[in-house]
Chains A and B, each alone.
Chain A
């Protein structure tokens, strides 16, 4: 409905957009434009967007930094790492531009390329064009087309065959602006055969303006590769985020992807995973803690295309205040994908009368030798457990907190990085205590 304005904006400023980007990225803009014209932005009319009217988020007159004006953010000053004891290879995206930081010296193993997507696609166009835009589905209604149309830069990491990046890679995205801003981030991850990488994405909003960020992450997990992704959102109530994660897993690959929404405004995360090789294994998890009028919507689609693949999903929501949560998870087992094992669990707690949860697991199975299950519950904190703790002199507030913490701990416990797991546990506790009203560690709330 509002796409028309954006299409006009693009047509008027095409030269400007392309000047601030690379040839590889510009090559896809015609297709993206056609797709946006055909399918538009997703509204509540679509079943997948029934509970999140993403198209309405595009209605305000957002500022867009198409001219790539310098928007200075002093990274080291503005942001201190929220995860101490976790020595990471740190990279920054300021709004939607790649920003070199001074905070960490980065020594990468041989052959590993990491940095600005624009710069890498300028210097290494063959490599980038082989992967860029290959997974993001432009032939459907979604925000991938919008992102592909406007994205000018982003982050890319390439790990060649057999290389293991020991240190976790941390990409911090910072939103800071004097005006309400729409940003389009693009992230590309390519893992060669047997490559290994751990990646932490931290999404922060530093200034109190309204933001709308579209994010498209494409992940190619080569044969027998191992990839861990932790996507942590710590923004504020005036932030809108629509993120699409696309993962393609080759034979024998192992991927663990977590999305954790600690603090947000309105969030829509969609994950599309294709298990394209025999014996691939996926663990896809999420936790969301929401109160006031926050809104979190996670959609997952796991496509089992080959035999012997495994997928497990666990999503947990704690909803307080007038917050709303939505979860839709679909598992498709294609013909011939025998011996598939797939499990999906979604558990939710509504703490108040106004909090609302919509959950919709789906199984679509076309192979017979499979073990697939899904489970979904919506409930409250266990009265018996509360009583047990009260009996032992624990205050009601504390007992509630402990129960909520234990509830979320199942997801946090799956985080493979020890330091991050500890830190997340603390952050979640602070969040439940109401001490984490803004992202921690940034100058804005220090």
Chain B
């Protein structure tokens, strides 16, 4: 009993670890007035110099959004959000056109990304490294290695640029996976979205480097509503990474993004996220609301999409990266580690919609709750009538560190085909005393032992991340847990 008491007292020592990315950058940012009306939508479209069809797309979404109400079904306590008290567009680059060279970027912005460990100068990147699209607030400040990629026919640019330069592709695919009617935040995003990345991998091309987008919220009183679209044409391959941070502020900032992925015949997309938005302080004050719709349409035969996410940030996380397995033989994967600490809340998981024959999906979800946090896994596996031979395996494990946090699982299985084989397993437990004892016995202090065990627990997911990210993710897990556990 005594042992447990000591554990609990340690658990109550809430993390004093500072959020490493919590600084702000003093850069002149052009922020539009707060509030959301049809005029706001027109203003955003005008600022971005968009064609009429894009404005129409936004307005249609906005009018639909007005008819919707914010859903209440998640296992989250969300304070009321005043959508009229947010600024929907903030441009730190000020210039009307995107910068032509690195030299044209505000040195402060450059410094910010340097400080975040994202080199915007190609010469500084490791050889064969990562191409980066750096997005600050509502605008993409720089996309590296564009030229190298263009030689292979790969398009990697900001969404704003894509609307101007590749209207055919955008008109064809934008909103084809996540319709503006899909949900409340999809409608909101479709109305006011700003820069995200656009990726097009042509037929038969294997993208020679990792593509990455780094999202940074900087300005206060704003939200970030980025939109990302990835199209992998037949027989192509791409690995895409996404990272995100925000300054420490007392206010809550809204991040409502959409990620759409279209995977054609025999193509493969790997999408990895290390989500590290500001989670709020130890009393639950401030932090980013991360309400994101991510979905991939596996349109082609034998196509493959793999979502890997490490969620350590955000005050509230509410997202379900999903796969619509339409092509025969397509495969969807979802690997997730979600760690919540202090007063963080997460309701995350995935949806696997099996429509084609012989489609396969795997779900591995690891939840870790500490402090006063609430961590839920919510997942749907749907097998449609014609999806013969569909196969799903889901495993959701939850680890509880402390007696004041919660871990919940809500899996839904909806099977309409008798040839489907669907398996779901979930376990919830605390760290085994035996494992801790074993580590302690060998001179490993409690905190390190927990870090070790948690990393081992999450290894199945971390091993799916590209190397640079895996190291970062491991470090993040350790930091997020520091001083929180006994």
Bin chain A's interface residue count: 35 or more
Q: Indicate whether A43 reaches chain B with its CB closer than 8 angstroms.
A: no
B418-A375 in contact (CB<8A): no
A365-B422 in contact (CB<8A): no
Least distance between A95 CB and chain B CB atoms (Å):
37
Q: How many of B's residues come within 8 Å of A, CB to CB? A: 36
- Knowing A335-B403, A373-B427, the reply to whether A378 touches B422 (Cβ < 8 A) is yes
A47 neighbours in B (Cβ, 8 Å): 73
Q: Indicate whether A363 reaches chain B with its CB closer than 8 angstroms.
A: yes
- Knowing A365-B408, A366-B406, A368-B402, the reply to whether A373 touches B425 (Cβ < 8 A) is yes
Stretch at the interface among B241-249, B286-294, B409-417: B409-417
B414-A358 in contact (CB<8A): yes
Q: Mark A325-362, 1 if CB is under 8 A from B, else 0.
A: 00000000001101000000000101111111111111
Give the 6 A-B CB pairs with smallest separation, nearest first. A368-B400, A350-B418, A373-B427, A372-B428, A376-B424, A378-B422
A372-B429 in contact (CB<8A): yes
B425-A365 in contact (CB<8A): no
Specify which of B75, B402, B422 is in contact with A379 (CB 8 Å cutoff). B422
Within 8 A of A (CB), among B338-376: none
Additional A-B contacts beyond A359-B412, A376-B424 (11; CB < 8 A): A348-B415, A355-B418, A365-B400, A365-B408, A365-B428, A367-B403, A370-B429, A372-B428, A377-B422, A379-B420, A380-B421
Sample (18) of A-B pairs whose CB atoms are under 8 Å apart:
A353-B385, A353-B417, A353-B418, A353-B419, A357-B413, A358-B412, A360-B413, A362-B409, A362-B410, A364-B406, A368-B402, A368-B405, A370-B429, A375-B423, A375-B425, A376-B411, A378-B420, A379-B423
In the bound complex, what is the Cα–Cα distance between A53 and B424 (angstroms)? 26
* Nearest neighbor of B418 in chain A, beta-carbon distance: A350
Q: Indicate whether B177 reaches chain A with its CB closer than 8 angstroms.
A: no
Specify which of A338, A360, A363, A373 is in contact with B403 (CB 8 Å cutoff). A338
Q: Indicate whether B407 reaches chain A with its CB closer than 8 angstroms.
A: yes
* Nearest neighbor of A344 in chain B, beta-carbon distance: B426
Q: Indicate whether A369 reaches chain B with its CB closer than 8 angstroms.
A: yes
- Knowing A365-B408, A368-B401, A370-B400, the reply to whether A350 touches B430 (Cβ < 8 A) is no
Most buried by B among A354, A355, A356, A371: A356
Least distance between A351 CB and chain B CB atoms (Å):
6
* Nearest neighbor of B4 in chain A, beta-carbon distance: A369
Q: Indicate whether B398 reaches chain A with its CB closer than 8 angstroms.
A: yes
B411-A372 in contact (CB<8A): no
Query: What does DSSP make chain A's interface, helix, strand, loop or mixed?
Result: strand
Query: What does DSSP make chain B's interface, helix, strand, loop or mixed?
Result: strand
Within 8 A of A (CB), among B172-188: none
A365 neighbours in B (Cβ, 8 Å): 398, 400, 406-408, 428
* Nearest neighbor of A351 in chain B, beta-carbon distance: B418
* Nearest neighbor of A359 in chain B, beta-carbon distance: B413
Q: Indicate whether A238 reaches chain B with its CB closer than 8 angstroms.
A: no
A355 neighbours in B (Cβ, 8 Å): 418
Least distance between B226 CB and chain A CB atoms (Å):
32
A368 neighbours in B (Cβ, 8 Å): 400-403, 405, 430
In the bound complex, what is the Cα–Cα distance between A41 and B413 (angstroms)? 25
Q: Indicate whether A423 reaches chain B with its CB closer than 8 angstroms.
A: no
Q: Indicate whether A14 reaches chain B with its CB closer than 8 angstroms.
A: no
In the bound complex, what is the Cα–Cα distance between A10 and B407 (angstroms)? 45
In the bound complex, what is the Cα–Cα distance between A374 and B425 (angstroms)? 6
Least distance between A403 CB and chain B CB atoms (Å):
15
Least distance between B424 CB and chain A CB atoms (Å):
4
Q: Indicate whether B121 reaches chain A with its CB closer than 8 angstroms.
A: no
* Nearest neighbor of A350 in chain B, beta-carbon distance: B418
* Nearest neighbor of B423 in chain A, beta-carbon distance: A377
Least distance between A271 CB and chain B CB atoms (Å):
19
B421-A379 in contact (CB<8A): yes
Most buried by B among A336, A352, A363, A367: A363
Least distance between B418 CB and chain A CB atoms (Å):
4
B33 neighbours in A (Cβ, 8 Å): none
B426 neighbours in A (Cβ, 8 Å): 361, 363, 373-375
A367 neighbours in B (Cβ, 8 Å): 400, 403
In the bound complex, what is the Cα–Cα distance between A358 and B383 (angstroms)? 10
Least distance between A44 CB and chain B CB atoms (Å):
14
Q: Indicate whether B404 reaches chain A with its CB closer than 8 angstroms.
A: yes
Least distance between A374 CB and chain B CB atoms (Å):
5
In the bound complex, what is the Cα–Cα distance between A379 and B419 (angstroms)? 7
B75 neighbours in A (Cβ, 8 Å): 364
In the bound complex, what is the Cα–Cα distance between A336 and B414 (angstroms)? 34
Specify which of A335, A356, A366 is in contact with B415 (CB 8 Å cutoff). A356
B415-A357 in contact (CB<8A): yes
Least distance between B9 CB and chain A CB atoms (Å):
14
Within 8 A of B (CB), among A43-66: 47
B418-A360 in contact (CB<8A): no
B430-A370 in contact (CB<8A): yes
In the bound complex, what is the Cα–Cα distance between A363 and B376 (angstroms)? 9
Least distance between A333 CB and chain B CB atoms (Å):
8
Most buried by A among B400, B405, B428: B428
* Nearest neighbor of A320 in chain B, beta-carbon distance: B418
In the bound complex, what is the Cα–Cα distance between A46 and B393 (angstroms)? 28
In the bound complex, what is the Cα–Cα distance between A338 and B410 (angstroms)? 22
B413-A376 in contact (CB<8A): yes
* Nearest neighbor of B380 in chain A, beta-carbon distance: A360
In the bound complex, what is the Cα–Cα distance between A323 and B289 (angstroms)? 43
Least distance between A433 CB and chain B CB atoms (Å):
21
In the bound complex, what is the Cα–Cα distance between A375 and B397 (angstroms)? 11
Q: Mark A1-30, 1 if CB is under 8 A from B, else 0.
A: 000000000000000000000000000000
Least distance between B360 CB and chain A CB atoms (Å):
14
* Nearest neighbor of B411 in chain A, beta-carbon distance: A361
In the bound complex, what is the Cα–Cα distance between A370 and B429 (angstroms)? 5
In the bound complex, what is the Cα–Cα distance between A336 and B415 (angstroms)? 37
In the bound complex, what is the Cα–Cα distance between A367 and B414 (angstroms)? 30
In the bound complex, what is the Cα–Cα distance between A374 and B407 (angstroms)? 13
B416 neighbours in A (Cβ, 8 Å): 356
In the bound complex, what is the Cα–Cα distance between A47 and B408 (angstroms)? 17
* Nearest neighbor of A373 in chain B, beta-carbon distance: B427
* Nearest neighbor of B415 in chain A, beta-carbon distance: A378
In the bound complex, what is the Cα–Cα distance between A357 and B416 (angstroms)? 7
* Nearest neighbor of B375 in chain A, beta-carbon distance: A365
B418-A380 in contact (CB<8A): yes
In the bound complex, what is the Cα–Cα distance between A338 and B402 (angstroms)? 11
A358-B425 in contact (CB<8A): no
A354 neighbours in B (Cβ, 8 Å): 418
Most buried by B among A348, A360, A380: A360
A369 neighbours in B (Cβ, 8 Å): 4, 403, 430
A361-B421 in contact (CB<8A): no
A374-B404 in contact (CB<8A): no
B410-A360 in contact (CB<8A): yes
